[in-house]
Amino acid sequence: MSGYPESATIVGIVCKNGVVLAAEKRVTYGRLITSRTGKKVFKITDNIGITVAGLIADMQVLSKELEAMSRMYAMEQRKPINLRAAATLLSNILYERKMAPFFSQTIIGGVDEGGPAIYTLDLLGSLLKDAYAAAGSGSEIALGTLERSYKEGMDINQGKDLAIRAIRAAAKRDVLSGEGIDVMTITNKGIEISEESIT
């Protein structure tokens, strides 16, 4: 098994005009850094994304499976999947694997007719909605930053700045987090992904 089941720091924030998902880029195997360019933020549809902490292989398989099933849903229903349905689908995928689980903690977020929202899921598929969340090995530190600075009604730029500050704070203390930050912003205009420095 490469790394630790909870390795990484991921953050999700609901803003008045969208959602921010962010993750740092370090990939570890025990005490060894195996990559400085790991991708832990994934686009699922044009208005839904996920960020995952845990094992890289599990992150990749989980994101691809959810993306494929979301496309199947859109073809069968002749309309895009909404966020709540995608979150429930992800919960079902995780729960079906409870005897051989994905080693992951996931935040799914997006914007649809119900507005912006995020949900957190553990490796068994427990589904919780919140205004902001952090998961992974640096989550306690990231949550401290989020709880101190989050304000209801923040705009997407303020949310992005807060997500970056939370990841940076975690990376200063958590040896499993570091290297850089991928930030996904989701609004009615679609998804944008940017890369930020860790310092």
Compute the Cα dihedral for 161, 33, 35, 138 and give only its sign. Answer: negative
Instruction: Give the residue carrying structure tokens 């992904």.
Output: 193
Report in angstroms the alpha-carbon separations of 103 from 1, 53, 93, 107.
10, 8, 13, 14
| DSSP string across 93-136 | HHHHTTTS---EEEEEEEEETTEEEEEEE-TT--EEEESEEEEE
- 120 has catalytic annotation: no
Amino acid at 69: M
**Secondary structure class of 81 (helix, strand, coil):** coil
The residue annotated as part of the active site, out of 9, 28, 120, 185, is 9
Burial (CB count <10 Å: 0-12, 13-18, 19+), residue 164:
buried
**d(Cα 87, Cα 152) in Å, to the nearest integer?**
22
Residues 23, 166: contact at Cβ < 8 Å? no
Which residues are catalytic, by number?
A: 9
